C-alpha cells in the first residue's frame, strides 16, 4: 500500500471493506521519445527508449503483437524500489534462460538501481572479464529483433538502455542497420568492422614491434622512410606510441565531457598540437601520429561503445607487450585474449558461438548477412525448442 502511494498510485478505501482498490494514477514529467543518439542509423527506425519503463514496454508491445510476448515485473533496490521488467516471447525464448534471468535478478540485494548498468554488473557471468557479456541498446527495433531470436530483455525504470541476454561476441559488431540495408552491403560493412576491430586492438603494437624488432619485415622504401622520420626523435618508438595514445585518450575524454561548442575547440587544439606541432618540433615521428590516428578512427567504427572501450584498454597492454617482446609477445597476448574469450559464457551460451563451438549453419549471420528470405532458423544455442523462424519463401 505504502509502495503504491510512493509510486504515485491512488488507493481507494471503502468503509467496511478490508481491501482497497489501487488506481494507477502515476504521472510525472518525462522526456519525450527522441532520436537515438548513441546508435544512430541512416536507414531504419529513429526512435529510442526513454527513462520511463512503461513507455519502453509499450514501444516493444507495439512491435510484437502476440499474446506470448510476456513482460514480467520485479522490484529491485531496498531504497529505490526500481521497477525492472523481464521481457521475452514465451514459445521462442529458452525456459532455462528465462528462469536463470529471474533467479539472478531476485538474488540481487542492493540499496538502489539507478541505471541498467548496475544490473549488468550484478548479473553478468564473469565479473572480472574486461569484455562485456551483456549487450545493451536504446533502440526498440533492435531489442524487438533480439526478442524474436529468443533472447530475454531486461528493462530497468530510469534507464533508456535495455539489456539483452544471452549475448555472444559477434553481436557487438552488428549494427541494427545491417538488417535494413541490402545484404551485400551489410556483409561488406561487417568485414570492415572486423578489420577495424583488429586494427584498433593491434595496429600500434604491430607498428612498434616492426619498427624496433622486425625491421626486415617492412618493405625497404617504407623502412627507410620511417627511419628518416625518426631521425632526431628523442623517445623510443614504444614511448612515443604510448605517449601519443595517451594524449589521444585525454583528448577524447575531454571532448566527451565538454559542451559541444568548447568540444570543437578542444579537437582543433588537439589536432594541431598532436598532428602538426609535435611532428614539426621533432618530438614524435609522423608515422606514429598516422598510426595512432588510424587506430583512433578504427576504434570509433565499432558499433558497440562498450566493446570499443574494451579494445582500447587492451590496446595499451598490447602496446607494451609488442614493444618489449615483439611479434612473439603480440601473438602470445592475442592467444591469451582468444583463450579468455573462448572461456566466457553468457547465460549458458558460449561467448564465441557460433565460431567456437562452431556451427557452420549459423555462420550465415556472423561475418556475412544472408537475406531475410533465406534466414530460416534462429540461433539454436539461444532459442529454445522453437528454432524455425519461417519457411523458405518470398513474396
Stretches 3-11, 26-34, 175-183, 232-240: which one binds other proteins (CB under 8 A)?
232-240
Q: How far is it, in rounded angstroms, from Cα 148 to Cα 389?
A: 9
Query: How near is the Cβ of 293 to other proteins at its closest, in Å?
Result: 16
Residue 234 within binding range of other proteins, rule CB under 8 A = no
User: 81: alpha, beta or left, given left = phi > 0 and alpha = psi -120 to 50?
Assistant: left
Residue 230 within binding range of other proteins, rule CB under 8 A = yes
What's the grid cell of residue 23?
488506481
DSSP 126: -
Stretches 12-20, 57-65, 224-232, 262-270: which one binds other proteins (CB under 8 A)?
224-232
Pick from 79, 73, 151: nearest CA to 110 = 79
Q: Which of 80, 126, 187, 236 binds other proteins (CB under 8 A)?
A: 236
Query: How near is the Cβ of 380 to other proteins at its closest, in Å?
Result: 45
Residue 44 within binding range of other proteins, rule CB under 8 A = no
Angstrom CA distances, 108 to 4, 104, 305, stand at: 22, 7, 26
According to DSSP, the residues that pair with 13 across neighbouring strands are 20
- Within 239-258, the residues that bind other proteins by CB under 8 A are 239, 242
Residue 286 within binding range of other proteins, rule CB under 8 A = yes
Residue 224 within binding range of other proteins, rule CB under 8 A = yes
What x-and-dash track marks residues 299-328 binding other proteins by CB under 8 A?
A: ---------------------x--xxxx--
Query: How near is the Cβ of 242 to other proteins at its closest, in Å?
Result: 8
Pick from 95, 99, 86, 165: nearest CA to 132 = 165
User: 275, exposed or middle or buried, with CB in 10 Å at 0-12, 13-18, 19+?
Assistant: middle
Residue 233 within binding range of other proteins, rule CB under 8 A = yes
In terms of CB distance, is 110 or 325 closer to other proteins? 325
Give the distance between the most distant pair of CA atoms in the chain.
96
C-alpha torsion 321→326→330→335, nearest 10: -110
Q: Which of 225, 267, 301, 364 binds other proteins (CB under 8 A)?
A: 225
Residue 194 within binding range of other proteins, rule CB under 8 A = no
Instruction: Kindly tell me the number of DSSP H helices and DSSP E strands found in the chain.
Output: 12, 9
In the complex, which residues of this chain contact other proteins (CB under 8 A)?
211-213, 215-216, 220, 223-233, 236-239, 242, 279-280, 282, 285-286, 320, 323-326
Amino acid at each position: 500500500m505504502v509502495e503504491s502511494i510512493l509510486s504515485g498510485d491512488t488507493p481507494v478505501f471503502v468503509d467496511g471493506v478490508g481491501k482497497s482498490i489501487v488506481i494507477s494514477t502515476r504521472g510525472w514529467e518525462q522526456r519525450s521519445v527522441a532520436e537515438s543518439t548513441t546508435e544512430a542509423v541512416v536507414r531504419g527506425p529513429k526512435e529510442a527508449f526513454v527513462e520511463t519503463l512503461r513507455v519502453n514496454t509499450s514501444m516493444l508491445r507495439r512491435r510484437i503483437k502476440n499474446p506470448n510476448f510476456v513482460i514480467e515485473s520485479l522490484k529491485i533496490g531496498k531504497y529505490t524500489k526500481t521497477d525492472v521488467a523481464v521481457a521475452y516471447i514465451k514459445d521462442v525464448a529458452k525456459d532455462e534462460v528465462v528462469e536463470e534471468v529471474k533467479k539472478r535478478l531476485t538474488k540481487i540485494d542492493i540499496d538502489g538501481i539507478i541505471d541498467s548498468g548496475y544490473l549488468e554488473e550484478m548479473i553478468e557471468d564473469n565479473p572480472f572479464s574486461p569484455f562485456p557479456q551483456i549487450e545493451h541498446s536504446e533502440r526498440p527495433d533492435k531489442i524487438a529483433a533480439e526478442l524474436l531470436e529468443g533472447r530475454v530483455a531486461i528493462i530497468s525504470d530510469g534507464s533508456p538502455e535495455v539489456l539483452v541476454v544471452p549475448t555472444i561476441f559477434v553481436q557487438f559488431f552488428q549494427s541494427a542497420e545491417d538488417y535494413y540495408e541490402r545484404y551485400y552491403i551489410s556483409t561488406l560493412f561487417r568485414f570492415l568492422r572486423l578489420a577495424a576491430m583488429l586494427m584498433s586492438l593491434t595496429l600500434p603494437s604491430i607498428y612498434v614491434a616492426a619498427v624496433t624488432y622486425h625491421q626486415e619485415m617492412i618493405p625497404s622504401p617504407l623502412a627507410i622512410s620511417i627511419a628518416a622520420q625518426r631521425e632526431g626523435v628523442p623517445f623510443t618508438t614504444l614511448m612515443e606510441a604510448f605517449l601519443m595514445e595517451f594524449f589521444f585518450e585525454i583528448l577524447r575524454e575531454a571532448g566527451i565531457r565538454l559542451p559541444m561548442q568548447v568540444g570543437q575547440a578542444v579537437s582543433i587544439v588537439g589536432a594541431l598540437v598532436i598532428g602538426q606541432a609535435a611532428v614539426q618540433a621533432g618530438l614524435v615521428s609522423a608515422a606514429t601520429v598516422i598510426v595512432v590516428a588510424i587506430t583512433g578512427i578504427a576504434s570509433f567504427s565499432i558499433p558497440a561503445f562498450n566493446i570499443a572501450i574494451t579494445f582500447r584498454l587492451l590496446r595499451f597492454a598490447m602496446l607494451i607487450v609488442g614493444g618489449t617482446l615483439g611479434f612473439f609477445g603480440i601473438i602470445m597476448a592475442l592467444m591469451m585474449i582468444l583463450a579468455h574469450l573462448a572461456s566466457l559464457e553468457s547465460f549458458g551460451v558460449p561467448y564465441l558461438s557460433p565460431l567456437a563451438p562452431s556451427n557452420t549453419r549459423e555462420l550465415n549471420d556472423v561475418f556475412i548477412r544472408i537475406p531475410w528470405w533465406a534466414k530460416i532458423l534462429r540461433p539454436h544455442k539461444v532459442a529454445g525448442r522453437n528454432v524455425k523462424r519461417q519457411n523458405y519463401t518470398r513474396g
